[in-house]
C-alpha cells in the first residue's frame, strides 16, 4: 500500500484496507457488543461522567472487532483515540474500517509488511503538536519499545551526535525500528522525549510485554508508570486459557480443514496458553503430547493423562505441532525436515521466532507453495515431503481465524479500561511511580462479576457470621493475593 | 447465473462459478488426498484393473474438496462421471472448478437457487444419447427421486395423457421438480424410463435418503437395486458422529465467532448427529441440554450428564439451538420469538424444514439483516430483539464452514466406492434385486482397516486357539450383524 | 463351608455365609430400591395381577444387593424363586442373608470354591419332586449349561450305559461339572430330562452366555426357548458401558488405592465393556492405550484420542492392565514377567482365563503374597519384581468392589423381568420355539422410559404431522431394528 | 477404648486399635512406597547424612498408609517421631499398627471420640522430661492450637490464678481443649511454655491451618516459625485438586454404591478442592451445579460448562451435595429437610460444621439409621423421606474411603519433609522468625521433578540462548512468584 495518511470527511486520519467494509464491520461490532458485557457495563457506569474527557489514548493492539468495541468504550468515556495493530496479520479490515469511519484514527490492515507495521505504529503515536498520547494501551509492548528506544537515541544524539545504526543488529525487525528513529532524529530530535513527558502511563496485556516492563523496572530504565493487565486473573487465566482453547482449533480448521480427531498433536509449553491448546486438541479427539521445561507444569499435564516427551522424541510421529512458549527456537528447521508429510506447524505463543522461519526460508532448495493466504506448504528437496506452516509462524489464531472470541476478550479489555481509568484518575496524585503495578483483587473480581449475568449465573452471598468466621469481607476480595485459582 | 452448459477445451461439459479457481482447488485436493487413505488405497488396489471401464456414474452429493477426491477415485478406476451437488449452499467453488477442468462434468456452485439446483440435477443425469447413467451416487436421494417421479409421470402420461401439475403441491421445491418433469415430457416422453432401463443401481449415504428407499422397497415402487451405505458402521457411526463433532463448532465459529464456553446450548435430537454435536459443545465448555422423543437416546444423554428437557422449557434461556433430527417443525417461529437477543439457530440435521424458515420469513414485520452470506440476523418487530439464523436453515456445517473433514469422509466415500464396485461387478449376476442392501460386515471392517495406518495404529491378531475359542475367524468379520458398536 | 442345606424357620432352604447380616442387607436393599425405578415400576404395574403365580424361577446371577431387588420383584409378581451366584467371588453376603431370610431360597456366598459353586448351582435347580424350574434367569449360561450337559449325559447313558468321564477334559471347572452329572446319574438318571420337560425358557444377559445359546441354536441342540436380554439396547449399551465405567475405577480404588491420574493404562478390547473402562480411566487422568482385533472398534478408539497398540508394544511400560474381551489368553504369564514392578493386572471381561492365571500359578519359583482378599502380589523369582492381580483374574468389579451400581442394573433387570413375563405368558401359545429371541424394540424403549423420571428428564412428544412426516408412530418404536445408538 | 498408653517390647509407647494388623499395614506400606517417589528420593538423598539426628518430631496428621511412609521417611533421616491423627475418622488401623510396631510412637485409631482425639494429641506432644517436640508436622493446626492455648492459659494462670473455663464456649470440641489444659495446669503449670521454648517450628499443610497461622502472625501471637506447605504449588494445586478428584468418587462409591452418572450434583465452592470434585463428578456423568461467593471462581466454572446457582435454587432437585468451602453453615438442616429422598450430603472441605450436623441431630423427631459406619440415613418426621449423610459431616474421603492416593500425597509430604529439614537446618541461623513462610520456588519445582520419572516423563532443557532470551536460568526457577499455574 502507498503509505500516505487519509482523512475522513470529518478530518480524522486513517489508513485502512477498504473503508467500504465499514458497514459490515458495524454489523459485527453490534453482535460483539452483546457478547462483551464488561465493556458495555463500563459504558453504562462511567459514560455519563466522561472520565477520559481530554485524554489522548494510543493503542497498539490487534485491530479486531473486539478491539473495536474496546476503542468505542474508550471514546464513549470521553477519550480521543489513535490505533494501530500489534501484529501484521491480525487486523480485521472491516473492523478497522468501521472504527476509522465512525470513531477513531486507525492505521492497520491485514497483511502489513514490517515496514508498514512500524509506519502504522509511528502514526498511532503521532498526535501532532503538543507531543504524543496521554495513555498507551499496549499488547506486546511495541509502542512502549518505540518510545523507549526513541528517547535513548535522542539522548545519545544530544550527548554524542551519534545516530542509531540499523546495521548494528541482525534482527530484521529491529533494523526497521532503528531506521525509523534515525530518520526521525533529522526532523525532530526531541519527539520521543516530548512524548515521554506527556505520558501518564501504559497498560500492557501480554506475558511478553509485561516481562519487558519488569526488566526495565529492574534496570531502572522504565520511563513511565505501567499497569500489568496480563496478571489480572480475569486476563491470564481466561484470555490465555479459554481464549486459546477456542481459537486454536478455529485457526486449524479454517486454515487446513484437517480432522483433529485421531491425530497426534504436540503442544510445546503447558502454561495457560498451552493448557488451553492441549485441552482443545484433546477434546477434539487428538492424542496430545506436551513438551515442557518446568517440572510443575509437566506434572500438571501428566495428571490430565497427557504424555510429556521432548520434541525430538516425537518429531517424526506427530501430525500437528503448536508452539505456546513465549520463548524462541522451539521448532527448528532441522525438526521440520524430519516431520511427516503435511504435518502442520503453527505458533500461538508470542513472536514468530518460536518457529525457525528464517531457517526454513533459507533452507537450500526448499519450495514454498501458498495454498491460500496464511497457509503455506513448504516442500523439502530431499524427501519431497512437505509441511504446512500457518500464518508464516505468527499467531495462527489471529492470522488464520479471528482471534479470541468476544466474551473472553471482554474480560481482558475491561481490565484495560479499568487500568486506563486508574492511571488517568491518579495522574496527578503521585500514586503511580515509574514502576509496574497489578490491579487490586477487588477490581479483578469486579471484572468477573460483570460477566456473570450474561451467562445466567447466580452468586451466593456470605452471611455476616460466615464472613466473620473466615475473616473475609462479604463484598470481597475473597482471596489472598497469592491465590492461584 | 445464466443457465447454459459450458465446455472445457477437451469438450467436457460443466457449469461452475469460476474455472479460474481450479488451481486453488487442486492444491486443496492434494492436501485432502493425504487425509483420505481409504480412497487412495482403492486407487492403488483397483486402479490397475480399471473395473469401472465403460461405466457412467452420476453423482448428486455436496461438491466439496472431499467429494472431488471421491470423483477422481471413480475416474481413476475407469468411470466416466457427471456430478451435481445435493444442497444449494454446500458446493466449494474451487473444488468444482478443479474437477470441471481436470476430471468430470460438474454442475454445481455455492448459492444456487432452487431452480438452478434442479437444473444442475437434470444435467447430471443427462448423458445424451443412450439414456442416463449406469450408476448413481446419491446423498439425500434427490437424483433417485427425480427418476422415480419422472418414470411415474411418463407412465401416467402414456396412460392418461395427464401431465404433472406443479400447483398440486404446497412444497415449493417439489413444484420445481414437477415443472421440470412436465417440461421434459414435451421433448422426450420416455427419458426417465430409458434411464431406469439402463440403471444398474444406486448407492445412498444419508439416513433420510435411505429411509425413502426402504419406503419405496416396502411399497414395491423401487425401480432399481440400492445399496444403503449410510448404515455401514464406518459411515453412520463415523461421518455422522465424529464428522459433526468437528464441523458443528467449525460452522458456529466461522459464522458468528461466538464463544461457546459458558453458553447454554440446546441440541434437538440425540442420534449420531446429535451425539456428535452435544459432545462438541460440551467439550467447548457449553452447558448442553438435549431434547428427545426416544427414551433410549434420552437415557444415553443423561448418562453423559446432559439434561433432557423440552424446547419449551428452555427456549428463552438458551444461547445456541441446533437441530439434528431429520424431522420437520422442530424450531417454530413461535419458539424463535421467545429467544434471547442474538440467540443462534441452526440446523445440521437434514432439510431446512427442521427450522420453520417459512414461518420466520412471513412473520409480520420481521426484518432480515444479512451480516454476511449464510449469517442472518432476524429482528422481531415487537421486541426489537433478533436471532441469528445460519445457512438459511440449511446444513450449517456445509453452508457456513467446509463440511466434514477429509479423514472421516474418506470412510464414508470408501463405502461408496465399494458399493459402486459391488453393483457394477454384479450387474449381470442377478445378485441384487430391486431392493435395499447393506454392505457385508467384512467390507465395513475393511474400510476401517484402510484408515488405521494413517493414525499409527497397530492391530492385535487373534491366535488360532483364540479364534476357535470364540468362534470368530482370524480375519473377521469380528462381530454379529446386530452389534451396535 | 460344610455343604449342607439349611432351613429358615418357615422351612425355606438356603446356604449363605451369615444370616445375621440380613438386617444390614435389608437396609442396603431399601436404598437400592430407590435407585431401581424400572424394577419398582414393574412391581407397581404387574404386582396386583400376580402374573408369576405358580411359576418356579431359578436364577444363576451374581447374588448382590441389586439382584436381591430383582428377586423380590419376581416374588412380588407371584413367583417362587431359588437362586445361586454365577461367580465365586461376586456374592454380597448381606444381600444373600436378607433374601434367604425374607424372600427366596439362596445358595451363595463370597469366596466359594469351584466345587461349592457347582453345588450351589445344583441346589438352585433342585425343586424337589416335580422336576426343576419353570423359568431360568441366567448370567453366563452356567445353569443352562448344566441342564444341557446333564440331558446329553442321560441320553448317552440310556443309550450306551456310558457315564461322563471327568478325566476327559483339561478344564478343571468342566471336570467338576462332569463329576456332578456322573454322580447324579446314580440316583436319578432322568433328572435333567425332567427339568427340560418342565422348562418354559431361559433369559440370558451376558454376551458370552448369549453366544453359547446362538451356537446351540445353530447346531440344533438348544433344548428350550431363550430370550437374549444382553442385546436389548438398555442392557448392552448401558450395563456393559456405563456400569463398567463406574465399577472399574471403584474396584481399582478399593483393591489398591492407586492413583489413576498420570498412569499408563492398557485396556484389552474396545467393545462396550472396554469403552466404559477406557472412558473411566481417561477421565480419571490416565493415559489409555487400547488393544483390539477389530478395525472398526480400533478406529472408534482412535477418534477419542486413544492409541491402538499391541500388548507386546506396551507391556513393560504400562501401570494398569484390564482385560475386557470375553476371549481367552489375553495376558499371558510371559507378558506378566515383563511388566513393571507393581503393575496391576485385572479382568472385567468374562472368565478368568482372559488372564493366564494357570501360567502364573505354575510359574517356577513365583511367590504369591496376599495383601488382602482379592488383592495378590505375585513376585517373580528372577527379577524380584511383583505384579498385583485382582480377584484372582475373575471379575474385579464384583470381586474387589460391589459390581455395577443399582441404577444401571435396574435397566438390565427390568429387561430380565419383562423377558421372564413374556416367556411365562406365552408358555402355552407356541410363540417361542427352541430358538433365541431378542425383546421387541418397544419393550426396550419402555425399559428406558421407566428410568427417566428418576433423573428429572422431560421427553418431547412427536406431533401428528411430524409422526406422519417421518413415518414413526407417536408412541414409538422410534428406531429401526438395526439402529446402533 | 480404655485410655492407657501401651508399650512395645522395645519400650516405645503407642495406642492403636489392634497391633496384629501390623503385617497387613506393612504390606500396604510397601505398595505405597512404590507410589511415593518423592519421599523415597528423600530417603536416598538425605538418609546417609542423618540430618534429623537428635530431632524430636511430633505429627498431627491423618494416620494413613501414606502418612506412615512419611513417618518412616522422617525416621530414616534420623528423627524420633510421635504421631496422632488430625481427624477422628481418618486413621487406618493397619497403618497405625505397622508404625507403632516398627517405627514411631502412635496414638490413633479409626473412630475416636472427641475426648479420645485430644487425649491422643496430648500424648503426641508429650515427650516426657525435657519438654515437647523440636518440630511439628501439622494438618489443620490442632497441635499448634493446643500449644498456643496452653501457653495462653499458663500465662493467665501465672498472672491471675485463673484457669480456663470449659463452660465459656459453646463449641463442644473447644470445651474439651479447655478441659485438658485446665487439668494439665494442676500437674505442671509450665508444660506448654517449656514446649514453646524448645520448639524450632511447625510446617502446616492445610488451607485452614495456614489461615490460622497468618491470623496469629498478624495479631503477633505466633509463638514459633511456621512454614506454609499448603501454598506450595505441588501441594495445593495437586493434593487439593487431583487428590479430591480421586477420593471424592471413591468415598461416594464405598459409602453408598450410588451410580453417579445421570445424577444432579451440587458442589459448594469452586476452589482447588471444589474444582477437583466438580471434575470428578462431571466425568462420572453427573450434571454438576456449583455454588460460589467468588465471581472469579464462578466464571471459571461457567467456562467449563458448569451452572452457577445458589443452594436454595437447587436444593430440592439435586441428588448429591458436597461441601468444599472451609467455611461453616453451608448446608443447614433447613436445606436438608427440602432435599429429595436419599439425597446424599457430604463434606470434603474442612471441618464438619460445613454441614449443620448440630441442627440435624437436634431436629425434633429426626431418626438416624446407620446403614454402616460413616453412612447414616436421617429420616425427617414430616415427610418420612431421608437423606444420607457421610462420615457424620467430617471429611468423607477419609471417613468413607482411604483418603488421597499415595502418589499425590507424595507431593504434599515431600514438601513437608523439605520444610522440616529447612526448619531444622536453620534452627540456629535465625533465618526464620516467628512468622509464616512459604518454600522457595526452586524447592517446589524440585518436588515436582522427583515425581516425573515414575510417570515416564522426559523434560525439555533450555538451551543457553533460550535461557538468555527469556532471562530464565537453565535450572530454574522457571516462573515468577505470582505465577498461577
β pairing state of C320-323 and C264-268: parallel
**Length of chain D, please?**
485
Q: Is D350 designated active site? A: yes
Task: For residue D444, list chain A residues with Cβ-Cβ distance below 8 A.
Answer: 296
- Give pairs for D174-180: CB < 8 Å, separation 24+: D176/D114, D176/D115, D176/D118, D177/D118, D177/D145, D177/D146, D177/D149, D178/D149, D178/D153, D180/D118, D180/D119, D180/D122, D180/D146
> Looking at chain D from residue 290 to 319, which residues have their Cβ under 8 Å from any Cβ of chain A?
291-300, 302-303, 307-311, 313
- Please tell me the distance in Å from D455's CA to the nearest CA on chain C: 6
Q: Which 3 state secondary structure label does DSSP give B223? A: coil
In the numeric block, the cell 503448536 is attached to: A322
Q: State phi, psi for D288 to the nearest 5 degrees.
A: -100, 135
d(CA C12, CA C127): 11
Task: Please give the torsion angle defined by the CA atoms of residues B332, B334, B339 and B342, in that order, rounded to the nearest 10 degrees.
Answer: 70
Task: For residue C237, list chain B residues with Cβ-Cβ distance below 8 A.
Answer: 296, 300, 484
Residue B468 assigned ligand-binding role: no
Q: Could you tell me which chain B residue has the CA closest to the CA of D279?
A: B305
- The pTM assigned to this predicted structure is 0.96
Q: State phi, psi for C389 to the nearest 5 degrees.
A: -105, 130
- Minimum-distance CB partner of A300 among D438, D458, D485: D485
Alpha-carbon distances of B169 from B144, B164, B165, B166, B176, rounded to whole Å: 19, 10, 8, 6, 10
Q: Are the beta carbons of C124 and C132 closer than 8 angstroms? A: no
Q: In what order do the strands lie in the sheet with B80-84?
A: B6-7, B13-15, B105-107, B80-84, B56-60, B135-138, B201-204, B226-228, B436-438
d(CA D365, CA C93): 33
* Confidence (pLDDT) at B477: 97
DSSP secondary structure code for residue A328 in this structure: S
Q: What is the mean pLDDT of chain C?
A: 97
Q: Is C451 designated active site? A: no
pLDDT digits (tens, 9 = 90+) for D366-416: 999 999 999 999 999 999 999 999 999 999 999 999 999 999 999 999 999
Closest CA to A483 of D67, D449, D394, D326: D326
Best of D240, D294, D327 to substitute, by most chain A Cβ atoms within 10 angstroms, is D294
Q: Where are the beta strands (DSSP E) in B91-194?
A: 105-107, 135-138
Q: Could you tell me which chain B residue has the CA closest to the CA of C313?
A: B458
Instruction: State whether C246 and D260 contact (CB < 8 Å).
Output: yes
d(CA C437, CA C445): 17
Q: Is D90 designated active site? A: yes
- Minimum-distance CB partner of A305 among C285, C299, C303: C285
d(CA B108, CA B371): 25
Q: Which 3 state secondary structure label does DSSP give D344? A: strand
* Confidence (pLDDT) at C2: 78
Task: For residue B313, list chain D residues with Cβ-Cβ distance below 8 A.
Answer: none
* Confidence (pLDDT) at A1: 67
Instruction: State whether B452 and C326 contact (CB < 8 Å).
Output: no
Any C CB within 8 A of B332 CB: no
Question: How many CB atoms sit inside 10 A of residue B198's CB?
Answer: 16
Any C CB within 8 A of B428 CB: no
Instruction: State whether A460 and D233 contact (CB < 8 Å).
Output: no
pLDDT higher than 90, residue C480? no
Q: For the residues A432-461, what does the mean pLDDT come to?
A: 97
List of residues 6+ apart from B378 with CB closer than 8 A: B336, B360, B366, B367, B368, B369, B386, B387, B388, B389
- Please tell me the distance in Å from D368's CA to the nearest CA on chain C: 12
Q: What is the mean pLDDT of chain A?
A: 97
Question: How many CB atoms sit inside 10 A of residue A428's CB?
Answer: 8
- The structural architecture, per CATH, of the domain D243-400 is 3-Layer(aba) Sandwich (3.40)
For the record, the C-alpha cell of D142 comes out as: 490442632
d(CA C457, CA C451): 9
Q: DSSP of D403-466, one letter per residue?
A: -S-HHHHHHHHHHHHHHHHHHHHTTTTT---SSEEE--HHHHHHHHHTTTGGGT-------HHH
Q: Of these residues, D232, D374, D412, D420, which one is catalytic?
A: D412
pLDDT digits (tens, 9 = 90+) for B128-187: 977 899 999 999 999 999 999 999 999 999 999 999 999 999 888 999 999 999 999 999
CA atoms within 13 A on the CB side of C410: 28
Q: Is C231 designated active site? A: no
Q: Which chains touch C (3 or more CB pairs under 8 A)?
A: A, B, D
Q: Could you tell me which chain A residue has the CA closest to the CA of B369?
A: A27
For the record, the C-alpha cell of B111 comes out as: 448459492
Buried b (16+ CB within 10 A) or exposed e, C363-400: beebeeeebeebbbbbebeeeebbbbbbbbbbbbbbbb
Any C CB within 8 A of D65 CB: yes
Q: How confident is the model at residue A287 (pLDDT cuts 50, 70, 90)?
A: very high
**In chain B, domain spans:** 6-139+141-204, 243-400
d(CA A170, CA D104): 65
- Minimum-distance CB partner of B236 among C236, C462, C484: C484
pLDDT digits (tens, 9 = 90+) for B172-187: 899 999 999 999 999 9
Q: State phi, psi for D257 to the nearest 5 degrees.
A: 55, 20
Instruction: State whether D234 and A296 contact (CB < 8 Å).
Output: yes
pLDDT digits (tens, 9 = 90+) for C28-83: 999 999 999 999 999 999 999 999 999 999 999 999 999 999 999 999 999 999 99
- H or E segment to which residue A343 belongs: strand A343-347
List the binding residues of D. 64, 139, 205-208, 235, 239-240, 269-274, 292, 327, 348-350, 397
Instruction: State whether B238 and C327 contact (CB < 8 Å).
Output: no
For the record, the C-alpha cell of B326 comes out as: 431429520
Task: For residue C258, list chain D residues with Cβ-Cβ distance below 8 A.
Answer: 35, 405-407
Alpha-carbon distances of B371 from A92, C188, D85, D169, D257, rounded to whole Å: 15, 86, 65, 68, 53
Q: Could you tell me which chain D residue has the CA closest to the CA of A354?
A: D466
Q: Which chains touch B (3 or more CB pairs under 8 A)?
A: A, C, D
The domains spanning B6-139+141-204 and B243-400 adopt the same CATH topology: yes
Q: How many CB pairs under 8 A join B and D?
A: 34
Any D CB within 8 A of A27 CB: no
Q: Could you tell me which chain C residue has the CA closest to the CA of D25?
A: C371
Residue C171 assigned ligand-binding role: no
d(CA D422, CA D45): 15
d(CA C76, CA C59): 16
Full pLDDT tens readout for chain B, 485 residues:
678 999 999 999 999 999 999 999 999 999 999 999 999 999 999 999 999 999 999 999 999 999 999 999 999 999 999 999 999 999 999 999 999 999 999 999 999 999 999 999 999 999 997 789 999 999 999 999 999 999 999 999 999 999 999 999 988 899 999 999 999 999 999 999 999 999 999 999 998 899 999 999 999 999 999 999 999 999 999 999 999 999 999 999 999 999 999 999 999 999 999 999 999 999 999 999 999 999 999 999 999 999 999 999 999 999 999 999 999 999 999 999 999 999 999 999 989 999 999 999 999 999 999 999 999 999 999 999 999 999 999 999 999 999 999 999 999 999 999 999 999 999 999 999 999 999 999 999 999 999 999 999 999 999 999 999 999 999 999 998 889 99
Q: How confident is the model at residue C1 (pLDDT cuts 50, 70, 90)?
A: low
Any D CB within 8 A of A215 CB: yes
Any B CB within 8 A of A28 CB: yes
Burial class of residue A68 (count of CB atoms within 10 Å of its CB; 0-12, 13-18, 19+): buried
Q: Per the omega criterion (within 30 degrees of 0), is the bond before A413 cis?
A: no
Q: Which 3 state secondary structure label does DSSP give A212? A: helix
- Please tell me the distance in Å from C44's CA to the nearest CA on chain D: 19
Best of A235, A243, A296, A484 to substitute, by most chain D Cβ atoms within 10 angstroms, is A296
- Minimum-distance CB partner of D34 among C263, C342, C455: C342
- Minimum-distance CB partner of C405 among D27, D257, D402: D257
β pairing state of B6-7 and B13-15: antiparallel
Residue C319 assigned ligand-binding role: no
d(CA D183, CA D172): 17
For the record, the C-alpha cell of A196 comes out as: 515521554
Instruction: State whether A466 and D329 contact (CB < 8 Å).
Output: yes
d(CA A106, CA A114): 17
Any C CB within 8 A of D260 CB: yes
Report CA A111 to chain centroid distance, whole Å: 16
Q: Which 3 state secondary structure label does DSSP give D175? A: helix
Q: Is A307 left (phi over 0), alpha (psi -120 to 50) or beta?
A: beta
The CA-based angle C456-C461-C467, given to 5 degrees, is: 155
d(CA D249, CA A230): 36
Burial class of residue A165 (count of CB atoms within 10 Å of its CB; 0-12, 13-18, 19+): exposed
- H or E segment to which residue B87 belongs: none
Alpha-carbon distances of B458 from A57, A306, B412, B461, rounded to whole Å: 60, 20, 22, 10
Closest CA to D317 of D289, D295, D359, D293: D289
Q: Are the beta carbons of B261 and A35 closer than 8 angstroms? A: no
CATH of B6-139+141-204 given 3.40.50.1480, 3.30.1310.10, 3.40.50.720, 3.40.50.300: 3.40.50.1480
- Minimum-distance CB partner of C407 among D24, D259, D341: D259
Question: How many CB atoms sit inside 10 A of residue C158's CB?
Answer: 13
* Confidence (pLDDT) at A208: 87
For the record, the C-alpha cell of A83 comes out as: 490505533
Q: Is D361 designated active site? A: no
Q: Are the beta carbons of B227 and B422 closer than 8 angstroms? A: yes
- Please tell me the distance in Å from A399's CA to the nearest CA on chain C: 27
- Please tell me the distance in Å from A279's CA to the nearest CA on chain D: 11
In the numeric block, the cell 413375563 is attached to: C421
- Please tell me the distance in Å from A233's CA to the nearest CA on chain C: 26
Alpha-carbon distances of C313 from C265, C291, C293, C339, C386, rounded to whole Å: 13, 10, 15, 12, 20
Q: Are the beta carbons of D354 and D310 closer than 8 angstroms? A: no
Q: Which chains touch A (3 or more CB pairs under 8 A)?
A: B, C, D
Q: Could you tell me which chain A residue has the CA closest to the CA of B24?
A: A371
In the numeric block, the cell 398440486 is attached to: B168
Active site residues of A: 62, 85, 90, 139, 205, 230, 235, 239-240, 244, 350, 404, 412, 416
Task: For residue A260, list chain B residues with Cβ-Cβ distance below 8 A.
Answer: 246, 405
d(CA D467, CA D448): 20
Q: Is D246 designated active site? A: no
Alpha-helical runs (H) found in D126-271? 142-160, 172-187, 191-198, 207-219, 233-236, 244-256
Q: Are the beta carbons of A85 and A113 closer than 8 angstroms? A: no
Q: Where are the beta strands (DSSP E) in D45-124?
A: 56-60, 80-84, 105-107
Amino acid at each position: 500500500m502507498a503509505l500516505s495518511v487519509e482523512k475522513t470527511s470529518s478530518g480524522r486520519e486513517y489508513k485502512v484496507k477498504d473503508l467500504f467494509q465499514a458497514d459490515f464491520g458495524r454489523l459485527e461490532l453490534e453482535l460483539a457488543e452483546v457478547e462483551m458485557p464488561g465493556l458495555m457495563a463500563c459504558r453504562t457506569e462511567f459514560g455519563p461522567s466522561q472520565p477520559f474527557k481530554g485524554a489522548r489514548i494510543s493503542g497498539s493492539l490487534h485491530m479486531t472487532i473486539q478491539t473495536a468495541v474496546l476503542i468505542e468504550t474508550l471514546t464513549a468515556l470521553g477519550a480521543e483515540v489513535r490505533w494501530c495493530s500489534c501484529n501484521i496479520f491480525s487486523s480485521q479490515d472491516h473492523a478497522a474500517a468501521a472504527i476509522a469511519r465512525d470513531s477513531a484514527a486507525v492505521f492497520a490492515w491485514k497483511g502489513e509488511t514490517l515496514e508498514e507495521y512500524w509506519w502504522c505504529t509511528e502514526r498511532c503515536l503521532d498526535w501532532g503538536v503538543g507531543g504524543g498520547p496521554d495513555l498507551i494501551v499496549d499488547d506486546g509492548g511495541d509502542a512502549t519499545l518505540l518510545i523507549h528506544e526513541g528517547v535513548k537515541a535522542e539522548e545519545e544524539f544530544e550527548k554524542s551526535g551519534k545516530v542509531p545504526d540499523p546495521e548494528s543488529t541482525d534482527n530484521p525487525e529491529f533494523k526497521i525500528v532503528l531506521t525509523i528513529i534515525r530518520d526521525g532524529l533529522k526532523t525532530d530530535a526531541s519527539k520521543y522525549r516530548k512524548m515521554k513527558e506527556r505520558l501518564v502511563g501504559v497498560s500492557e496485556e501480554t506475558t511478553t510485554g509485561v516481562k519487558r516492563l519488569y526488566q526495565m523496572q529492574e534496570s531502572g530504565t522504565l520511563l513511565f508508570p505501567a499497569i500489568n493487565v496480563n496478571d489480572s486473573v480475569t486476563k491470564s487465566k481466561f484470555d490465555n486459557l479459554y481464549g486459546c482453547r477456542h481459537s486454536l482449533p478455529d485457526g486449524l480448521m479454517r486454515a487446513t480443514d484437517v480432522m483433529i480427531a485421531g491425530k497426534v498433536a504436540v503442544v510445546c509449553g503447558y502454561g495457560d496458553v498451552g493448557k488451553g491448546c492441549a485441552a482443545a486438541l484433546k477434546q477434539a479427539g487428538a492424542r496430545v503430547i506436551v513438551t515442557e521445561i518446568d517440572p510443575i507444569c509437566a506434572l500438571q499435564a501428566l495428571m490430565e493423562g497427557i504424555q510429556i516427551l521432548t520434541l525430538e522424541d516425537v518429531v517424526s510421529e506427530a501430525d500437528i505441532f503448536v508452539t505456546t512458549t513465549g520463548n524462541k527456537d522451539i521448532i527448528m528447521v532441522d525438526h521440520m525436515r524430519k516431520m511427516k508429510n503435511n504435518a502442520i506447524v503453527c505458533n500461538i505463543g508470542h513472536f514468530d521466532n518460536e518457529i525457525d522461519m528464517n531457517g526454513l526460508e533459507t533452507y537450500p532448495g526448499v519450495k514454498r507453495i501458498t495454498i491460500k493466504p496464511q497457509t503455506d506448504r513448504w516442500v523439502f528437496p530431499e524427501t519431497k515431503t512437505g509441511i504446512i506452516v500457518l500464518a508464516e509462524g505468527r499467531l495462527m489464531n489471529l492470522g488464520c481465524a479471528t482471534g479470541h472470541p468476544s466474551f473472553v476478550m471482554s474480560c481482558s479489555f475491561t481490565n484495560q479500561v479499568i487500568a486506563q481509568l486508574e492511571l488517568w484518575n491518579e495522574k496527578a496524585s503521585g500514586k503511580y511511580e515509574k514502576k509496574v503495578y497489578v490491579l487490586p483483587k477487588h477490581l479483578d473480581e469486579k471484572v468477573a462479576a460483570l460477566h456473570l449475568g450474561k451467562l445466567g449465573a447466580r452468586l451466593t452471598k456470605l452471611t455476616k457470621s460466615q464472613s466473620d468466621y473466615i475473616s473475609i469481607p462479604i463484598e470481597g476480595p475473597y482471596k489472598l493475593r497469592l491465590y492461584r485459582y
